[in-house]
Amino acid sequence: MNSIAVLHAAQLVTLAGPQRARVGPELSELAIIEGGGIIVRDGVIAAAGPSDEIERELPNDVEILDAKGRIVLPGFVDAHAHPVFAGNRVDEFEMRARGATYEEIAATGGGIRSTVRKTRAASEAQLLALAQTRANWFLRCGTTTMEAKSGYGLSLDEELKILRVIRQLNETTPIEFVPTFLGAHAIPEEFRGAPEQYVALVIHEMLPSVAEEQLAESCDIFCECGYFDLADSEKILMAAQEHGLRIRMHVDQLTNSGGAFLAARLHAATADHLEQTNATEIAALAEAGVQPVLLPASVYALGKTRYPKARTMIEAGLAVVLATDFNPGSSPTPSIPMVLSLAATQMNITPAEGVTATTINAAYSLGRGDKIGSLEVGKLANFCVFDCADYREIAYWFGLPQIDSVYVRGERVFHAD
Ligand code: NIG
Ligand code: FE
């Protein structure tokens, strides 16, 4: 029971290939089947191939969806996002339009700390309702799996509150959320003069509780001048590893503070941002097998011009990932299609490389490459139908929603009117 078949996609973008993250020229290999189709049984892909072959294998009880010249590709996997917070920072957005910088706004009590104040004041139920609305934004942009970081609580109870909201998002929305603990996002107001005490709190109180309640799979840190330096980052991340958490790191976003070398030394799963990272550090990341997560929407939204050296990373053999960095300060967008546009126009990432970086490579970075990220037999039937005939149009027509429908485990969870 519960079989569906999708037939006659102008392009079935399968991403079939090696069972690992893709590197170098592999990033351009999408394994597209023109006129392709799939059969889904009990939420899992049972067959994928040319529609005439698929039609021969159709089970009796199957419901048929004719993709009629549209394209079908795996649901996007957004591997870096901060979706749980209260309020917004539209005032800061306007201040930046008038010439202030992100750093200046943060120095006067705005920035992450202003979202922390609003998030602490919100109840768990209020935060959940806000995040559910945002989950719907992601879904309608084609995202079916996403990372969700804490980091706007910055106390034991408040960080746990956010992580519990993420758990509830998993139970109440079609998106799969992969939780990351980001207690080391900023030093909170009350520890301003004593950052070492906050680091101790993260290590001795927050991490053990997060691990005990199994509220996160990974630990992240904002390794940056004025936030967490290399020594504190190393202490926190090593403690996280002792609790069995994987490591993701915000590094080299505003300044180059050596964070990429630390990510390499700790064999982090990912090093994210990397706007200020140079060739030597890129070589170290390659050597250690760390996946770079590039976030061009945050560069764009802050009005900056220095994008990460994506081509150097691809040439060095890094398994590049692209993500939104959705957050109220530096990247208020849930849209992977927008990220693909920015990747093409600002970083010379081709549309094919972009699709690989937001599906299969992103899935491997979240430890889910065996279940999602490509349309191959045995994987979850998480896919989107786009109203165009060529996958490159997703990045090309920017600012225009081209999504037709979104499926999670073979169930339609979004349909455009
Ligand atoms: O990834 N860099 C740190 N964290 C976010 C910004 C968070 C915020 O401004 O609220 C980022 O860009
Ligand atoms: Fe971020």
Q: Does any ligand 1 atom lie closer than 6 A to the CB of residue 21?
A: no
For β-strands 403-408 and 411-415, DSSP reports them as: antiparallel
112-121 and 156-172 helices, crossing angle to 10°: 70
pLDDT at 417: 81
Q: Does any ligand 1 atom lie closer than 6 A to the CB of residue 218?
A: no
The percent of residues in the chain predicted with pLDDT above 90, rounded, is 97
Average the pLDDT over 238-250 and give the result.
98
Q: Does any ligand 1 atom lie closer than 6 A to the CB of residue 250?
A: yes
pLDDT band at 2 (very low <50, low <70, confident <90, very high): confident
Task: Give the ligand at the shortest distance from the Cα of 297.
Answer: 1
Average the pLDDT over 87-103 and give the result.
95
The residue whose CA has the least distance to atom 3 of ligand 1 is 222
Its pTM stands at 0.98
Q: Does any ligand 1 atom lie closer than 6 A to the CB of residue 112?
A: yes
With CA atoms as reference, report the closest residue to 102 among 367, 303, 386.
303
Task: Give the ligand at the shortest distance from the Cα of 81.
Answer: 2
Are 159 and 183 contacting, i.e. CB atoms less than 8 angstroms apart? yes
Count CB-CB contacts under 10 A for residue 413. Answer: 18
Name residue 34's beta-bridge partners. Answer: 11
Q: Give the Å distance between the CA of 183 and the centre of ligand 1.
A: 13
Q: Whole-number mean pLDDT of the chain?
A: 97
pLDDT tens for 45-70 read 999 999 999 999 898 889 999 998 89
pLDDT(1) > 60: no
| Complete edge-to-edge strand list for the sheet that includes strand 143-149 | 76-78, 143-149, 176-184, 218-223, 246-251, 270-273, 291-294, 321-322
pLDDT(314) > 70: yes
Q: Give the Å distance between the CA of 113 and the centre of ligand 1.
A: 11
- Buried/exposed 260-279: b ≥16 CB within 10 Å, e otherwise: bbbbbebebbbbbbbbbbee
Q: Does any ligand 1 atom lie closer than 6 A to the CB of residue 145?
A: no
Q: Does any ligand 1 atom lie closer than 6 A to the CB of residue 327?
A: yes
Distance between CA atoms of residues 357 and 299, nearest Å: 18
